[in-house]
Amino acid sequence: MPATLAVLAGTRPECLKLVSLIRAGRGRADLSLVVISSGQHPSMVRRTLAQWSLAPDVELPRPPTPISLSGTVRWLRDHARAALRECGAHALVVQGDTSTAYAGALAARTAGITLIHVEAGLRTADPMRPFPEEMFRRRIGPIADWHYAPTASAADNLLREGVPDERIEITGNTGIDALRLALSLDDEGTIPADGRLLVLTLHRRENYGPRLEQVCSAVLELLSLHPDFQVVCPVHPNPTVGSRMRRMLGSHPRIRLTEPLDYVPFVRLLARAALVITDSGGIQEEAPYLGVPVVVARENTERPEAVRWGATRLVAARHADVIDAAQMLLAAPRPHAAAFNADAPFGDGLAGARIIESIGRRLAAATP
C-alpha cells in the first residue's frame, strides 16, 4: 500500500520550487502524491503548475478579505488540516517561508502526521527581517521532522539550533531544478527590448513605501546615466507595490511595466539582462547560473552563497546605495554562468529527485 504524501503550495515561488519534486513523486509506485493548493493565490498556483502540465488535486477555499496576517494563518491552517485528514496523508511537504508553509506546518502537527520542510535552514541575522518570512522559517524549524537543506550553510544553521544531524539532508535548491528545466525548453518568446536591458522586480514587505520609492528613483537616475538602457519590470499583483511603481515609473518611455510573467519567459528575460535590481530571493539563486549581475535591495539576505559568488551586491534600499552598486557591477566584466554541478552555489538542479527518493525511503521505514 503506497504512503500518501501531501504537497502544499499557495504561491508562485512555492510551485516553482516544488515542480521537480512533484514530477519525481508522480512516477513512484510507493507514493500516492496529493498536491493541495492552499487558496492563498489560487489562480497563480494553477497557472504556474500548468506550465509543467501539472494541476492541484485539491483546492482549498481562498481566505476572506480583508484579513490580518494572523487570521490568514489560522484560516489556512484549519482548512489544510481538514484536507490532510480527508486525503489520509501520512506526511506533508511544505516549502520555504510563506503563510501557506507555516500554516501547513501547524496543520501537520495538529493532524499528527510527519512534517517535511523543503528549503529548510535559511536564516538571516535578524529574526524579524525579512518579515514575516524569517519568522515563519524559524517557527517551522523546531516542529519539522525532516529538513531538506539547500546548502551546507543552511544545514549548519539547523545544527546550531539543535536539530539532530540525522534529520537533515543537504540536497541543493529545488528552485535550480526549475531553472534547469526552463533552460532546456524552447524559447517561448521574450519581451523585446532595444539596447541594454535592466530587469526590475520589487515585492518584499520590508520595501513597502519610501524604500520602494528610493529604488524606483535610482532606476530613473540609471536611465539618465545610460541612454541605451531599457527597463522591463513585471509588477507584483499586490496593490501596495503596484500603485507606487506605476505612479513613479509608468510614464517613462524606456520603462515597460508588465503583468507577472510565466516562468520560462521570465528566465529568458533575466538571461538577457545587463543588470537586475531586485529584492527577490529566487533571483539571487538563479543569477549565478545565468551569469547575470544583481543588486539586491535589502538589509540582509538568507542566501549568503549568492553574495560569495561575487556578482551579487547586497545594499540597503536607498537611492545612492543602489546607484553605487549598479555602477560598480556595470563597470565590471560580465560574470561567467555557473555550471549545474555540485560545486555551484545552489546545487546541480537535481534536488527534487533526491528529496523524493529520501522521502520514499523514510516513509517506507516509518509506515507499517
For residue 34, which phi and psi values (nearest 5 degrees)?
Answer: -125, 115
- For 343, what's the count of Cα atoms within 13 Å in the CB-facing half-sphere? 3
Euclidean distance between CA atoms 211 and 304, whole angstroms:
22
Euclidean distance between CA atoms 291 and 335, whole angstroms:
5
Q: How far is CA 253 from CA 194, 222, 315, in A?
A: 12, 14, 27
Euclidean distance between CA atoms 108 and 114, whole angstroms:
7
Residue with cell 506533508: 92
Judged by DSSP in three states, 59 sits in strand
- Known catalytic residues are 97, 119, 133, 203, 205, 236
Q: How many Å is the maximal CA-CA distance in the chain?
A: 67
At 132, list the grid cell: 514575516
Euclidean distance between CA atoms 190 and 266, whole angstroms:
8
**Nearest to 312, CA basis, from 285, 293, 336:** 293
Euclidean distance between CA atoms 235 and 246, whole angstroms:
9
Euclidean distance between CA atoms 106 and 9, whole angstroms:
14
Using an 8 Å Cβ cutoff, are 43 and 115 in contact?
no
Query: What stretch of H or E contains 245?
Result: helix 239-249
Using an 8 Å Cβ cutoff, are 147 and 158 in contact?
yes
Give the single-character DSSP code of 113.
-
Using an 8 Å Cβ cutoff, are 4 and 89 in contact?
yes
